[in-house]
Structure 1
Amino acid sequence: MLLTRRALPGVRVPAWPDARRTFRSWRRTRPFWAGLLLVLGGAELLAVPLSPVTVLVSLGLGGLAAIGIGLALIVAGLFLWYAPAARRYVSLNALILSVLSFAATNLGGFLVGMALGIAGSAMGFGWTPAARPPDEPPVEGPGAPGRAPGGGPKALAAVLPVVLLAAVGTPAAHRAEAAPRGGDDVRAAAAPPTVRTTLFAPHGFAFAGVTRVPTAAGPLKVMVLTMRAASLADYRLTTRDGGGAELALGADTLELSGRVTLYLTRFSGCLEGLLCVTFSPDGLPVPPVVPPFVFMTDVTAEQALVTSDLIVADRLTLNARGGS
Structure 2
Amino acid sequence: MLLIRRGARFPAWRRTRPFWAGALLVLAGAEIAAVPLAPLSVLVGLGLGGIAALGIGAALVAAGLFLWFLPHTRHYVGIHAVILSVLSFAVTNLGGFLAGMLLGIAGGAMGFAWTPERPLEEPPEQPPQEPSRLPQPPAPPGHPPQKTLAAALPFVLLAATALPAPGPPPRAPGPVTTPRTPPTVTTTRFAPEGFTLARVAEVPTAGGPRRAMVLTMRAASLRDYRLRTRDGGGAELSLSADELRLGGRVTLYLTRLTGCVQGALCLTFTPDRLPVPPVAPPFVFMTDVTAEQALVTSGTIGADGLALSPGRSPAPPPPAPPPP
Q: TM-score, normalised by structure 1?
A: 0.59
Q: Is the 8 A contact 1:31 1:124 kept in 2?
A: no
* 2:255 corresponds to 1:279: no
Partner of 2:196: 206
Aligned partners of 2:214 and 2:252 also within 8 Å: yes
> What CA distance in whole angstroms lies between the structure 2 residues aligned with 1:302 and 1:267?
7
Matched, 1:41 2:25: no
Letter matched to residue 40 of structure 1: L
Structure 2 counterpart of 1:319, from 301, 310, 315: 310
User: What SS is found at the alignment partner of 1:18?
Assistant: helix
Q: Aligned pair in 2 of structure 1 residues 80, 209: CA closer, same or farther (>3 Å)?
A: farther
Q: Taking structure 1 as reference, are residues 186 and 56 closer, same or farther at Cα in structure 2, changes over 3 Å only?
A: same
**Structure-2 change in CA distance of 1:45 and 1:262 (3 Å):** same
CA 1:30/1:189 → structure 2, altered by over 3 Å: closer, same or farther? farther
Aligned in 2, Cα 1:233/1:39: closer, same or farther, shift over 3 Å?
same
Give the match for residue 210 of structure 2: 220
Rounded to whole Å, the distance in 1 between the matches of 2:268 and 2:262 is 14
- 2:124 aligns to what? none
1:225-269 Cα shifts (integer Å, max 9, x gaps): 222322222211122356543222222222222222211112121
Distance 1:72 1:189, change over 3 A: farther
For each residue in 1:42-66, what CA deviation from the matched residue of structure 2 results, as whole angstroms up to 9, or x when unmatched? 36657999xx967263539x96797
After alignment, is 199-208 or 27-36 more displaced?
27-36
CA, structure 1 residues 80+228, in 2 after alignment: closer, same or farther (shift >3 Å)?
farther
Contact 1:57/1:272, CA 8 A, preserved across alignment = no
Equivalent residue for 1:237, pick from 227, 248, 251: 227
Aligned residue-pair number: 255
Q: 2-side partners of 1:262 and 1:75: how far apart?
A: 40
Please state if 1:57 is matched with 2:64.
Answer: no
Q: Deviations over 1:157-197 (max 9, x none)?
A: xxxxxxxxxxx9xxxxxxxxx99626622222222111111
Segment drifting more, 302-311 vs 220-229: 220-229
* Whole-Å separation in 2 of the counterparts to 1:273 and 1:124: 30
Distance 2:258 2:282 in 1: 18
Report what 1:264 is aligned to: 254
Whichever residue aligns with residue 268 of structure 1, its letter is: T
Q: What is the letter of the counterpart of residue 294 of structure 1? A: V
Distance 1:59 1:277 in 2: 18
1:149-228 to 2 correspondence within 5 Å? 181=171, 184-228=174-218
Q: Distance in 2 between matches of 1:64 and 1:120?
A: 15
Say what the alpha-carbon RMSD is for the aligned residues: 4.8
Q: Distance in 2 between matches of 1:122 and 1:70?
A: 17
Unaligned stretches of 5+ residues in structure 1: 6-14, 84-89, 126-139, 144-167, 169-177
Residues 52 and 91 in structure 2, CA contact (< 8 A), matched pair in contact too? no
Is the CA contact 1:272–1:297 (under 8 Å) kept in the aligned structure 2?
Answer: yes
Quote the Cα distance in structure 1 between the aligned partners of 2:118 and 2:309. 69
Taking the aligned partners of 1:179 and 1:64, their CA distance within structure 2 comes to 35
Cα 1:235–1:42, aligned 2, differ >3 Å: closer, same or farther?
same
1:103 to 78, 86, 90: 90
Q: Is the 8 A contact 2:199 2:274 kept in 1?
A: no
- Point out the structure with max Rg over C-alpha: 2
Q: Could you tell me how far 1:310 is from its partner in structure 2?
A: 2.1
Q: What residue in structure 2 maps to residue 136 of structure 1?
A: none
2:7 is aligned with 1:20: yes
Percent pairwise identity: 54
Q: Classify 1:233/1:121 alpha carbon distance in 2 versus 1 (closer, same or farther; 3 Å).
A: closer
Give the Cα separation in 1 of the matches to 2:19 and 2:170: 50
C-alpha separation between the residues in 1 aligned to 2:61 and 2:208? Answer: 49
Indicate conservation of the 8 Å contact 1:34/1:121, yes or no: no
